[in-house]
Amino acid sequence: MATITAGYRSMSLLVSINYDRLLYVFTVVFALFLGAYVGMLVQ
C-alpha cells in the first residue's frame, strides 16, 4: 500500500510540474486532428 501511495504522489508531482507542457502538447494534437477532420469534410 505504501508503494502505491508513493507512486501516486510522484505521479501527481510530475503532473503538477509539467501541467503547462502537457496542456500544450494536447492542444497541438487536438488542433492537428481537428485540421485533418475539417480537411476531410472540405473534399
Task: State how far the Cα of 28 lies from the Cα of 22, in Å rounded to an integer.
Answer: 10
More confident residue, 43 or 23: 23
Task: State how far the Cα of 42 lies from the Cα of 37, in Å rounded to an integer.
Answer: 9
Judged against a pLDDT cut of 90, whether residue 28 lies above it is answered with yes
What are the C-alpha distances in Å from 13 to residues 19, 21, 31? 10, 14, 27
The answer to whether 38 and 31 have CB atoms below 8 angstroms apart is: no
Judged against a pLDDT cut of 90, whether residue 19 lies above it is answered with no
The mean predicted confidence, pLDDT, of the chain is 83
